[in-house]
Amino acid sequence: MTTNDNKFQEIISHAKEYGFVFPSSEIYDGLSAVYDYGPYGSELKKNIRDYWWKSMTQLHENIVGIDAAIFMHPTTWKASGHVDNFSDPMIDNRDSNKRYRVDHLIEGLADKLKDEGKTQEADELIAEMDRLLAADDYAGLKDLIAKNNIVCAISGTGNWTDIRQFNLMFSTQLGSVTEEADTIYLRPETAQGIFVNFLNVQKTSRMRIPFGIAQTGKAFRNEIVARQFIFRMREFEQMEMQFFVRPGTEGEWYRYWKEARLQWHLSLGISPEKYRYHDHVKLAHYAKEACDIEFEFPIGFKEVEGIHSRSDFDLTQHQQYSKKKMQYFDNDVDPATGKPFGNYIPYVVETSIGLDRMFLLILSESYETETLTKEDGSTDSRVVMHIPAKIAPVKLAILPLVKKDGLPEIARELMNECKPHFRCFYEEKDAIGKRYRRQDAIGTPFCVTVDHQTKEDQTVTIRHRDSMQQERVSLSAVREIVSKNII
């Protein structure tokens, strides 16, 4: 196991121990690739979602939000191409009966080669895999697996079946009588709820092109290889925005959103060197141009967000299948003809980020075990989550030094003043050092201690999580200090 694997395992344990993420239905031994968010996890997840939502809708006058249902008319998925194309090439090992996604199997070897310092060999392997995937050359991919002696992790053999496609959508029945019930799907992406509502939204919010529609919500995929904690789940949440543009302008908007989305990540103060773009060679069935924003997780550089230029594919398909016009009338004047642009089906640039993956990114970037040197030269350590203050689950911990002498009453007053404005936490049990450590472990950026001096001069100690610096400030200034650091 490499050091990074250890760090990843430490993060998973920490997330459970401190109420961020629990395995789903754990008392029944869990459900593979399904997770529940605990008290601090649900708070952090909500804060990430709100930060995205605000940046998309409140800060862009030409983007509005919707909240579409998870269930959609089954024809939606026929029109979108998901029934026919939303599948991954898979291969089974005949000895273990274990099924693998072909790209994951080959990437696994590439990661191993990189760990051994054989970077060029790894890059060549990935390039060859991308070429074969782009050509849908399954025989070639099987040869690549055989040539590189890739074996099943369970049986240890290379006794592989041919490569086949498996659809990733979950289906269920709508209606109570099985024989009459319709098969419907749990949406595999939130985007289609936006496409089918395109004209409802455009007309009711009187949007003019270019404009966007944003949505957050659950999506479901029957991932065959679902591992790596919340990185790849079967039930997960997406934050998607479809930006509708005039045909011919999609290239410039694609570049705009590619850059704007990276800047959103950096606005959280995350190190730029942890990010990179990956331009797609094999495009999804709807895409004209596409890239991933990748982040260096402890398990390597992986996709956290996709930017896709989807052309007019989805709206055209829905127009064809529903027989309802999906056109927009553009009365801006075309300088080339001197006449209005008129009716057309808009092109779409999509930004699509996984909320759970962004959550994992924040955990990975924030988690640190720090070694501290004390004044007498001895060492100690603390686990600290450097979660950006604006999305931290708790912003301020209010801690009376002792449980008596009127200190809890003053602390409670401060709590009542602050809690309508941001999430606070009150605690009077245990030594102050222990209480600080617990707040460090959940990423609380500020702790305030009310002590005996507070009674005399109305000041408190405010402690900063990252530097551990403490300063004496006026009790009446606390709310303002915290507020201005969490915007």
Indicate whether 440 belongs to the interface with ligand GAP (CB under 6 A). Answer: no
Among candidate residues 75, 71, 72, the one with its CA nearest the CA of residue 83: 75
Cα–Cα dist 81/169, whole Å? 12
Are 461 and 398 within 8 A, CB to CB? no
Instruction: Please select the residue that binds ligand GAP; options are 49, 357, 435, 465, rule is CB under 6 A.
Output: 357
Cα–Cα dist 33/150, whole Å? 24
- Measured on CA atoms in the order 194, 195, 200, 206, is the torsion positive or negative? positive
Shortest distance (Å) from residue 355 CB to ligand GAP = 8
Cα–Cα dist 105/132, whole Å? 14
Are 184 and 178 within 8 A, CB to CB? no
Shortest distance (Å) from residue 361 CB to ligand GAP = 9
Q: Give 92's contacts (C-beta < 8 A, 6+ positions apart).
A: 98, 99, 100, 160, 161
Instruction: Please select the residue that binds ligand GAP; options are 201, 315, 353, 410, rule is CB under 6 A.
Output: 353
Indicate whether 191 belongs to the interface with ligand GAP (CB under 6 A). Answer: yes
Indicate whether 110 belongs to the interface with ligand GAP (CB under 6 A). Answer: no
Site string for ligand GAP, 205-224 (x = CB under 6 A): ----------------x-x-
Indicate whether 233 belongs to the interface with ligand GAP (CB under 6 A). Answer: yes
| Contacts to ligand GAP from residues 396-415, by CB under 6 A | none
Indicate whether 395 belongs to the interface with ligand GAP (CB under 6 A). Answer: no
Indicate whether 236 belongs to the interface with ligand GAP (CB under 6 A). Answer: yes
Indicate whether 88 belongs to the interface with ligand GAP (CB under 6 A). Answer: no
Q: Give 353's contacts (C-beta < 8 A, 6+ positions apart).
A: 52, 238, 239, 240, 261, 304, 305, 306
Indicate whether 306 belongs to the interface with ligand GAP (CB under 6 A). Answer: yes
Instruction: Please select the residue that binds ligand GAP; options are 88, 250, 289, 356, rule is CB under 6 A.
Output: 356
| Contacts to ligand GAP from residues 321-350, by CB under 6 A | 350
Residue with the two structure tokens 């936006």: 194
Q: Residue 303 or 417: which CB sits closer to ligand GAP?
A: 303
Cα–Cα dist 124/114, whole Å? 11
Indicate whether 193 belongs to the interface with ligand GAP (CB under 6 A). Answer: no
DSSP state of 208: -
Shortest distance (Å) from residue 112 CB to ligand GAP = 23
Pair type for strands 424-426 and 396-400: parallel
Instruction: Please select the residue that binds ligand GAP; options are 193, 210, 354, 443, rule is CB under 6 A.
Output: 354
Closest CB to ligand GAP: residue number:
354
Among candidate residues 341, 336, 325, 58, the one with its CA nearest the CA of residue 208: 341
Three-class SS state of 7: helix
- Phi first, then psi, for residue 64 (nearest 5°) are -120, 160
Q: Residue 318 or 357: which CB sits closer to ligand GAP?
A: 357
Shortest distance (Å) from residue 196 CB to ligand GAP = 14
Q: Residue 288 or 464: which CB sits closer to ligand GAP?
A: 288
Q: Give 393's contacts (C-beta < 8 A, 6+ positions apart).
A: 39, 40, 41, 43, 44, 47, 387, 423, 442, 443, 444
Q: Residue 234 or 435: which CB sits closer to ligand GAP?
A: 234
Indicate whether 189 belongs to the interface with ligand GAP (CB under 6 A). Answer: yes
What does the block give as tokens for 427?
A: 């605690």
- Phi first, then psi, for residue 18 (nearest 5°) are -105, 20
Q: Residue 235 or 330: which CB sits closer to ligand GAP?
A: 235
Indicate whether 305 belongs to the interface with ligand GAP (CB under 6 A). Answer: yes
Size of the site for ligand GAP (CB under 6 A): 19
**Piece of the chain touching ligand GAP by CB under 6 A; list 95-103, 106-114, 157-165, 303-311:** 303-311
Are 309 and 373 within 8 A, CB to CB? no
Indicate whether 303 belongs to the interface with ligand GAP (CB under 6 A). Answer: yes
Shortest distance (Å) from residue 356 CB to ligand GAP = 5
Indicate whether 289 belongs to the interface with ligand GAP (CB under 6 A). Answer: no
Shortest distance (Å) from residue 418 CB to ligand GAP = 34
Indicate whether 101 belongs to the interface with ligand GAP (CB under 6 A). Answer: no
Cα–Cα dist 318/323, whole Å? 8
Rule CB under 6 A: which residues touch ligand GAP? 189, 191, 221, 223, 232-233, 236, 238, 240, 303-306, 350, 352-354, 356-357
